[in-house]
Amino acid sequence: MSAAYAGDVRLLMEYLAKSLVDAPDQVTVDEEEDDRGTTLALTVAESDLGRVIGKSGRTARCLRVILSAAGMKAGKRYQLEIVE
């Protein structure tokens, strides 16, 4: 992973999700800001949804931990929503 992803959390989540799925061209990450912070909506192909969520939600939890750590470094609050 290059330094290009260091400043943009949306690009970081997109990179990680594309690395996990079989159809990386169908991965989109939409960013929505409100008073509680920034919500990233991750959309993947229906067949890849299980890969992104993982067994018992472990992969999704790991993605959220990475997002939280990146947010702490940036001084912002992020939430990840996996869109079905």
Q: Would you say residue 3 has pLDDT above 60? A: no
> What is the span of the domain harbouring residue 10?
3-83
Q: How many domains is the chain partitioned into structurally?
A: 1
CB-based burial, 41-60: b 16+ in 10 Å, e otherwise: ebbbeeebeeebbeeeeebe
Q: What is the CATH number of the domain that holds 36?
A: 3.30.300.20
Task: Report pLDDT digits (tens) over 6-64.
Answer: 568 999 999 999 999 999 999 999 999 988 889 999 999 999 999 999 999 999 999 99
Q: What is the pTM of this model?
A: 0.86
pLDDT of 65: 96
pLDDT of 7: 62
- The residue ranking higher by pLDDT, 3 or 59, is 59
